[in-house]
Structure 1
């Protein structure tokens, strides 16, 4: 009889314990801590200066073979496996090639519409330093999640595009892309033409 009583008590406890409502655990997100950005002004022989994040490597600069003064500049982020590719082109006063430069920069961003979920554009103007442009953030599984261009409309034109060393997967690269996009905005805000 004692055995049956003990069994009934244990069964009762089991049934009472099983009546609790199930509460699912919240989704877990990968926590990525990036260092607080520290900026330093670039010191180079380019026709402009800007502030870059100190976690990026020194600039890789290559003079391009083009009709006007042109440079290709790589701003590498090894820890994030990303690079901002900058292209500088001098505006030819005789040919007024600014229109072509603007068309090419906007066309490059619009080519991402096939794969993009959304492409918000953020205009930027700094009349004091004659810097005018647009930062476009491309949301979705695209090769370049951010591009920008800036110009003074008379002599200088600079474009920038962000790429990662991995296959485009928006969810995976989002934290790193957001971090570098802030640096791209800071680059635009601190750019000064020489």
Structure 2
């Protein structure tokens, strides 16, 4: 019995010749392609610039889905004509934003006004584990109304998707800045 005990102890000391150290902290390393934009070519009543790497799905009624396949995200654009219902359209857009208030930590609005191009709107940045991290609406106040919503094809974990949100936010700002009404 004593020999077996000495053998087991000897094996433990012989087998443990490697020093165990804690693993170093890892940092998330995301690389995004350099931004190149192109003008959106659709037959709708509006146009703007989009990222060349994005995939555009043109749906009926001038609605769009702008996909970011590498980021597993999409920007959904809905268009509605203004027919003496601008107040209703604005109220509906804001209700959709504040629907995320339960999961959001903060909702930060930013207004846009370009009287020369007749582009008026608001962008809402939603921080926290909400289903949509950025929503916006743009109008010329008399004829056209666009609403956009950014979402990811994954369970929301804001800390993980924050770099991707910041990357796509630049594209959304570019969209708003380059928007032109065709009519």
State whether TM-score is above 0.5: yes
Partner of 2:71: 80
Match of 1:167, SS state, is coil
For 2:25 and 2:145, how far apart are their aligned partners in 1? 45
Deviations 1:99-151 (A, max 9, x none): 11100100111111111111111111111110010111100001000000000
Match of 2:95 among 101, 107, 130: 107
Match of 2:57 among 60, 65, 87: 60
Match of 2:45 among 36, 44, 47: 47
Match of 1:157 among 130, 136, 145: 145
For 1:26 and 1:83, how far apart are their aligned partners in 2? 34
CA RMSD of aligned residues (A): 1.6
For 1:26 and 1:123, how far apart are their aligned partners in 2? 44
**1:156-175 matched pairs, under 5 angstroms:** 156-175=144-163
Partner of 2:8: none
Partner of 2:34: 36
- Aligned residue-pair number: 161
**1:68-147 matched pairs, under 5 angstroms:** 70-92=61-83, 96-147=84-135
For residues 26 and 120 of structure 1, do their structure 2 counterparts lie closer, same or farther at Cα, with a shift above 3 Å needed? farther
For 2:51 and 2:150, how far apart are their aligned partners in 1? 15
For 2:50 and 2:129, how far apart are their aligned partners in 1? 26
Greater mean alpha carbon deviation, residues 175-184 or residues 25-34: 25-34
**Residue ranges of structure 2 left out of the alignment (5+ in a row):** 1-22
TM-score of the pair, normalised by structure 2: 0.84
For 1:37 and 1:105, how far apart are their aligned partners in 2? 29
Moved over 4 A (4+): 25-28
For 1:74 and 1:191, how far apart are their aligned partners in 2? 16
| CA shift for structure 1 position 172 | 1.1
TM-score of the pair, normalised by structure 1: 0.79
